[in-house]
Structure 1
Amino acid sequence: MTTLTLKSYQQSALDALAAYARAARIQGPAAAFAQHAGRAYNADAFGPDVPCVCLRIPTGGGKTVLAAHAVPLLAAEWRGTDAPVAVWLVPSDTIRTQTLKALQTSGHPYREALEAVYGLGLRVCSLDDVAQVPAPQWGRQAVVIVVATIQSFRIDDAGQRNVYSFTEAFEPHFKYALAQGKGTEGGRDLACLHALPDAVVTPEDVAQDPTGILAGFVGQPRWSLANWLALHRPIVIVDEAHNTKTDKSFKALQRLNPSCILELTATPIEARTNVLYHVSAQELAAENMIKLPIVLAEHPEGWPAAVFGAVQTQRKLEAEALKDEAEGHGYVRPIVLFQAQNVGDEMPPEALRSYLINELKLPEAQVVVATGTTRGLEDLDLAARDCPVRFIITVQALREGWDCPFAYVLCSLQKLSSATAVEQLLGRVLRMPYAQRRGREALNRAYAHVCAAEFSVAAHALADRLIHHMGFEALDVASMIAQPATLPLFGGDELEPNQPPVLMQKALIATNFEALQPTPELLALPGVQVKTIAGAPQVVVAGHIGQEAEALMLAQVRGPKKQEQLREQVAQHNALVAAQLAPAARGVPFAPLPTLAYREDAQAPLWPLEREAVLEAVELDLLTPQAVQLPGFHVAQESDVFEISLSAEARVTLRRTDVDQMAMDYGSSSISADDLVRWLDQSLFKQLHELTQSQRRAYLAAVVNDQLHRCGVPLVLLTQARFQLAQSITNHFGDLRDAAAKQQFRQLVLQAGSAGAWLVEPDWAHPHVFEPGRYPAPVLSRYAGRYQFGKHYFPVLADLKDGGEEFGCAQLLDRHPQVKHWVRNLDMAPCGFGLPTSRGRFYADFVAELVDGRVALLEYKGAHLQNDPYEIEKSQVGALWAQTSGGRAVFGWLTKQQDGKTLAQQLDAVLA
């Protein structure tokens, strides 16, 4: 099993991809995308039948490990195969070499993610080695992952690339496929290649062939590497996918005949990309993937001050690191990344190295240069304890394919607005070592020293880099940048181990609008002034820009493109303003909320109340007819087409040739029921983890036996439908478990005072605390309306539409005089506050701290859900939480109308 535990946002992204793939098989890619992403699907060049979706992951979010987990997920949920062929496209040869090595190295997390599903039969190769994989293994015995660059396939003339050339090395492969296609079960139909561009030998090809090999092959598929890949309809993974949105790239991907395409990038081209899931900076920070905030020091004196400041920061950080290690948090050695000026300027790399050694007296071994011509980092393990390197000088040679686990400080001697590689270096500095929060607070931040005249100019340049080049959101960026004057490290004071940062962003929210003229009408608006910047008068705006001010600003700009750019600048400015005003950004604490706990009797110890504790008291009999019969699952075959039903609404229609046989040499004639049970046991290990292996095997054997004998489904047909069978078993087992847990939860938790019930009480010793900077709201579900909520604790709001009943409830809460501040609750642990239920946890819509110190939990329900049994259970749990709090907590179950009271009256009654 894989040893690398996925982060919550990574698992959420994969869950979203799995749900989309399942829906796409039933509804089609476009309808499924509209359902799961809430937007229209862009079919682009691949047509409506080929899913092409994107996971948008900011710099530092771990795109490659997601890709490794996505291959088996898409193979099962979309392709329905145990042995997929995947083509993994990367942007450069450097990345290709690194990715290929990682996927081929036993024990590497990328390799383990695949071996956990496919075992040691996994094959990973480059384009040059594809012909060495025996033809019978493709699609049957082994998973083939081909790592290449998009440039290998991107060409106008297919004859100019070896991948499209007629190659005798592929003769046995195509002859094998042709033999298999003659009526053999699971064979490949070469006719599909005739629809692909440049896939068939033409008379022109024969005329231009000096070898004469092509004579006699006119009208037949080329024996080419590209055609061999296309024949297997590969899963295509595209890393840094924003680089492939060109007509040449589309044509190259079409030639691969993909079954589906998964794109990964931090900065997608929105108009041409189907973003299915978007990870935010706060999600990365909540999982300790990146350091926040970025402490930005500007040095108007010039590069000597910036360099000296960076060296001093490194020395202080190293002192903090030594204390941190002594306190048991592991070894780090903070490193500075210097971005020198170009050759010919005042301070190129070698001159900077000389300055550091001769003027600042740094040891030579601590300073290395890494550029295109000077490769000082080769054969160095920067994470090794005996490595002396603390300062790395580059220009832009480290833009990709390189990592520096201990990078903490960026010192750029170039202008941030023009430095083409600063975001790549900043990406290294943002990454948290080992993805683990450090004990000393200074080591949880990143640092930047830049040559700039004032903080606002440098901060805006840095914000633009983070937003437009690294995939972060404006609201997140506002809490990512801090001034050094507010942080003790720069003042020389001792840092407390857990001292939270206090962000001072007033300079950041005064935005310079270069495109505007200081007209009297504009200057009459609040917050608008004229400042001299770089010797010229320019319009600067502080505070929120309303609709009237925006209209006056737009009136000065001509042309739709320039107006759209100004609108984006205004929206970014308002997001920064809103973030600075939020209580969390101002360091205001949120009152702790008690969790629920239980005792089995008055003398017993107090334990956290979780669903798992209830499940331990549940005993399921999985061999009853009710347990082994799968309601809704049905397989019907007519000729070479069969239909699989999972429920009354969900049906999948497949042709026999669309479904691969089971891997590992399972043929249609030799497969047995035990083989299918064994496959189900391996596939459903996680879903049925509460059962021992003997219990799982007995249950799965009973299910298979029921399908074979009571339902009369032939074994071969049931095997072909194995992925849908596994999904149906998962769903049914979940229903059985939920029903038993519901009954047990009612007896042990909700029926207080009855015989055998637990003693439930709040646990104030282990409360939930909302922490500033820990609100990982998914980007695609964030509130984006114009109404400004004044009391929301965090700068962003999760899962709130602009309008509707919940929006109205949020407005009433925000304006209520009893409310000090409130949170749109996240439905995820540990950042959201949840109460236990029989199915898991219940995350109420809103959490509030009242002016009198009490805390309130509020859930809004539409009329259609008021009588739902599970919703009633939630209300009972919430009431129990409040009743046991000794008056320190209140719970409200709110509806549009309730006992003759309006929503506002209900809220008054709850908060009174």
Structure 2
Amino acid sequence: MTTFTPKVYQQQVLGSVEAYFKSCHELPSPSIAFTATTERLWGRGNPYNPLSGFPADMPYFCLRVPTGGGKTWLAARSVQLANTHLLRCEHSVILWLVPSKPIREQTLRALRDRLHPYHRALREAGPVTVLDLDEAKSVTRATLDTSTTIIVATRQAFQVEDEESRKVYQSSGALMHHFEHLAPAQRAQLLTEGAGADQTVPCSLANVLRLRRPFVIVDEAHNSRTELAFDMLARFRPSGVLELTATPDLERTPSNVLHSVSAAELKAEEMIKLPVVLETEPNWQQCLADAIGRREALQQLAEHEQRAGAAYLRPIVLIQSEPRRAGVDTLDFERVRSELITNHRIPAEQIVVATGEEKGLERIDADYKLGIADPACPVKFVITQKALAEGWDCPFAYILVSMASLSSATAVEQLLGRVLRQPGASHRQAGALNQSYAFVVSRNFAETASALRDRLVTGAGFERREVAEFVTAAKDDQARLDWEGHAGRVMVRPVAITLTEKPDLTSVPKPVRDKVSWDGERSTLTISKPLTEDETEFLKASVRSEIAAAAIVEAAQISRTAAIEFFHTPAELGERLRVPQLALRVQGELQLFDDPEVLEYPWDLSPFDARPTNEDLLALDGNLKVSEGGEIDVDDASGKVVSRFLPDLQRDLGLVYQPENWDEVRLATWLCRNLPEQSLTHASKQAFVAAWITDLLRRDGFTLARANLQKFLIRNRLEARIRDLRRQAVGKAFQQTLFGEDAASRVAVTDRYAFEFNPHAYAPSREYDGRFGHFDFRRHFYGRIGDFDSKEEFECACWLDMQAHKGRIRFWVRNLVRREGSSFFLQKADGRFYPDFLCQLPGTADQPGPILAVEYKGADRWAGAEDDRLIGGLWASLSEGRCRFVMVKDRRWEWIEGCF
């Protein structure tokens, strides 16, 4: 199996998770840590919403990832982060909850498959054991003590009300050994049965989980946000809860969204096929014929690319038929299949039916090694009625055909997800093969487009503000009716006609009346909004003469064509924005310079003092007091002494996981294995760690047992120390390479490496909402615009747009931070510099003009931005005139003018 390489946005999600887990220990509580982490990541701290029935500061957060974003892999990879940075233990119990039995079986299969990316992600946590619920009911203590144990189950399996599921709460002889030699504090936390003298503690799986304080992962969390579900989770005293969903609850019981991935980021990483090209047709047979024609066109493109070396591709059409109804003529699966075979001469073997009764896809999976994606499989059309089997993925699914109303939300959302997702697929040279297609039997395009966008929001997890650009019309005449898709960028000219008679508007439906007005004095009918063909028929019926009716038809035609003017952004018009990047010569070859670690620099730990600092010793002392219960607080309301969540958690985990047979060498070896520093040799790292531990153990009060108890904190202190030493070495190398006397021989700014802004991948974490004022930005590269950090920054954007109106700038973009596909950066020794604005200056037909990078800095931050000015200036000076850079303060717009 090919090696799985995580996408940039996935690495960023994991970075956010790690940052939150670390902050949970660095700040007074996980609730405060959540607000602080989101402030640091996104510039605006989100409030923490505790779950009712749980400790108020229990780590509880949500990762919002749209359909096709790889939620399961992120969950699996987060296990190691939870062990290392939150729980600070070698092994843990993970309770992994899924919404249904099919998803449970699929998840178990993947997590157990040693060659699957999900299992490999789990293995980052060390030895792992994956169990289903039946296996967990007889799990041994040795298994829990020697591996991270993942228990995969449906949420429903833990409901006390379910007869079968009560076994989770009943005593089992197979679990008795878990309850031997418990401390009084542990026994006091267990569930009991009976009352008074008859009260007993059942040796149940539920109590094993209470002892082990499981970290809970909730997949498709939007299906599990009921009071009953939360009560069930609370019974197990979780150490934390991680939700994964495309559509988090933001209102009733709001999820704490730590990181939100946008659909635009998935598009930039080639994880989904966007935009969705929509076409409506009232005649169902013509609609199906159009979809077949589109599939044939895509097939030809795929075969052409395959001859040039591209991977095999067979575009597949998913057809949603109508359910059968007694006594009603419906477009059910049999009628659709008959249409394909009889009128389009599609061979029967190319059609598969997947309904409650027909199990066509299961037969395909059984007959072909790679299922429907197998080159030997002939299937090109899949007919379904409601929904396909949960978890079914196929990168060949390109076209959705809906015979039923788009109001059938669940089915359409699921089928859309199948078409959008492209697991294992990659970017194609033909643009048509990087898009999805929807053909819907409908007379009203605008209504259908709106319904489709709703399905993308409610089902696929797209954000409302980004769906407008991700549903586009296949036909120009239908595009003109799609006002929602051009929100804020459409101008409609009223169409007035003189009639010889007064129309009877009382008989016209109100939605049509709202689009027209009658002026009796001038005998003029004015159409203020475009009329569809159906609406035109209603209005035509309001007059008696054929001349008046013909005039209405002509005016209505003008209202939806010539009377509509759309404003198109530079990205929509096909403009390109390419920004040259810094490149570094490595052994004579240029390569993209996006990480200072590629620099050659002397890096060895041996010259440095391998002893704990006073700060290290203070941190270890403070942590010991907490773990021994020394950190307490007083509740303001009751005056009672209360403990905090994390100290309680560390105490409980310390009681459960009792280390054995540790010595100084084994401890040093464990620390080396858990220090992820790839730039060091193992010998160098081991020598430094062994010397550090030896020095620590010579100090009063630091025994081997204590060092072992605090090994995760020691690991963090060592990691921070090594990271700081490496940063110093990198900084020196960075300064010499980029700013030394012969820097020009080592660094270049070349068109060979240029960052190109994807026309469909602009994904601001926050859009500008008018808080600093309103301005009609017309020369921004995209229709959306990222938020501004200050009023002065907003005013700078307004000034740039006005210069664009004057022709001094062709167009510009609000550069984003940490957003794949819409973030240009310049690498610094200690991070990345993202200029606020990038402007394309005028050029010629053959040669685009220079790129101007503009950074606005408040006067209070000017002194601290010296390294930004240096790297920006270097980038411009090495570009041979292709790039220009300016940093502005105090509204000195003339500094920008000097760069034109």
Structure 1 length as normaliser, TM-score?
0.81
CA contact (8 A) 1:578 1:795 kept: no
The one-character-per-residue Cα deviations of 1:314-352 (angstroms, maximum 9, x if unpaired) are 222222211121111211211111100111242211222
Q: Which residues of 2 match residues 118-157 of structure 1 at below 5 A?
A: 118-119=126-127, 122-138=128-144, 140-155=145-160, 157=161
Partner of 1:316: 297
Q: Distance in 2 between matches of 1:579 and 1:707?
A: 71
Q: Distance in 2 between matches of 1:286 and 1:150?
A: 34
Q: CA 1:589–1:179 in 2, change beyond 3 Å: closer, same or farther?
A: same
How many residue pairs are counted as aligned between the two chains? 805
Q: Which residues of 2 match residues 23-38 of structure 1 at below 5 A?
A: 23-25=23-25, 26-37=27-38, 38=45
Partner of 1:71: 79
Partner of 1:21: 21
Local SS of the residue matching 1:377: helix
CA contact (8 A) 1:503 1:586 kept: no
Q: Which moved more, 1:783-792 or 1:427-436?
A: 783-792
Q: Which moved more, 1:369-378 or 1:623-632?
A: 623-632
Partner of 1:562: none
Partner of 1:467: 457
Counterpart among 833, 836, 847 of residue 842 in structure 1: 833
Partner of 1:168: 172
Local SS of the residue matching 1:161: helix
Partner of 2:307: 326
Q: Which amino acid aligns with 2:874?
A: L
Q: Which residues of 2 match residues 210-225 of structure 1 at below 5 A?
A: 218-225=198-205
Q: Distance in 1 between matches of 2:745 and 2:614?
A: 35
Q: Distance in 2 between matches of 1:708 and 1:538?
A: 90
CA contact (8 A) 1:291 1:432 kept: yes
**Does residue 264 in structure 1 map to residue 253 in structure 2?**
no
The alpha-carbon deviation at position 506 of structure 1 amounts to 5.8
Q: CA 1:180–1:614 in 2, change beyond 3 Å: closer, same or farther?
A: closer
Q: Which residues of 2 match residues 482-493 of structure 1 at below 5 A?
A: 482-485=472-475
Partner of 1:792: 780
Structure 1: unaligned runs, 5 residues or longer = 183-187, 194-198, 204-215, 491-501, 540-576, 645-650, 897-901
Q: CA 1:521–1:661 in 2, change beyond 3 Å: closer, same or farther?
A: farther
The one-character-per-residue Cα deviations of 1:380-410 (angstroms, maximum 9, x if unpaired) are 2111111111111111141623222311111
Partner of 2:546: none
Q: Distance in 2 between matches of 1:70 and 1:668?
A: 24
Partner of 2:569: 582
The alpha-carbon deviation at position 835 of structure 1 amounts to 2.2
Q: Which residues of 2 match residues 434-445 of structure 1 at below 5 A?
A: 434-445=424-435
Counterpart among 335, 339, 344 of residue 316 in structure 2: 335
Partner of 1:245: 225
Q: Distance in 1 between matches of 2:854 and 2:527?
A: 37
The alpha-carbon deviation at position 413 of structure 1 amounts to 0.2
Q: Which residues of 2 match residues 392-791 of structure 1 at below 5 A?
A: 392-398=382-388, 400-485=390-475, 508-509=485-486, 518=514, 529=529, 531=531, 581-590=568-577, 592-597=578-583, 605=588, 607-608=590-591, 610=593, 616-626=599-609, 628-630=611-613, 632-634=615-617, 635-636=620-621, 637-638=624-625, 641=628, 654=647, 658=651, 660=653, 668=659, 670-685=661-676, 688-709=677-698, 713-752=702-741, 758-777=745-764, 779=765, 781-785=766-770, 787=774, 788-791=776-779
Q: CA 1:614–1:457 in 2, change beyond 3 Å: closer, same or farther?
A: closer
CA contact (8 A) 1:844 1:859 kept: yes
Partner of 2:105: 97
Counterpart among 832, 848, 855 of residue 851 in structure 2: 855
CA contact (8 A) 1:399 1:421 kept: no
CA contact (8 A) 2:581 2:755 kept: yes
Structure 2 length as normaliser, TM-score?
0.82
Partner of 2:262: 280
Over aligned residue pairs, what C-alpha RMSD do you find? 3.6
The alpha-carbon deviation at position 589 of structure 1 amounts to 2.2
The alpha-carbon deviation at position 707 of structure 1 amounts to 2.5
Q: CA 1:615–1:59 in 2, change beyond 3 Å: closer, same or farther?
A: closer
Q: Distance in 1 between matches of 2:176 and 2:576?
A: 70
CA contact (8 A) 2:137 2:175 kept: no
Partner of 2:193: 201
The one-character-per-residue Cα deviations of 1:413-468 (angstroms, maximum 9, x if unpaired) are 01113353111011010112514112222211111111111432221111111122
CA contact (8 A) 2:280 2:441 kept: yes
Q: Distance in 2 between matches of 1:743 and 1:395?
A: 64
Local SS of the residue matching 1:192: coil
The alpha-carbon deviation at position 535 of structure 1 amounts to 5.2
Q: Which moved more, 1:701-710 or 1:286-295?
A: 701-710
Q: Which amino acid aligns with 2:14?
A: L
Q: Distance in 1 between matches of 2:714 and 2:237?
A: 28
Counterpart among 317, 327, 345 of residue 361 in structure 1: 345
Local SS of the residue matching 1:421: helix
Partner of 2:183: 181
The one-character-per-residue Cα deviations of 1:122-160 (angstroms, maximum 9, x if unpaired) are 11111111133212332x2121111111111235x4877
Q: Distance in 1 between matches of 2:229 and 2:66?
A: 23
Q: Distance in 2 between matches of 1:472 and 1:292?
A: 12
CA contact (8 A) 1:517 1:538 kept: no
Q: Distance in 2 between matches of 1:2 and 1:693?
A: 27
Q: CA 1:253–1:660 in 2, change beyond 3 Å: closer, same or farther?
A: closer
Q: Distance in 2 between matches of 1:394 and 1:315?
A: 21
Q: CA 1:641–1:100 in 2, change beyond 3 Å: closer, same or farther?
A: same
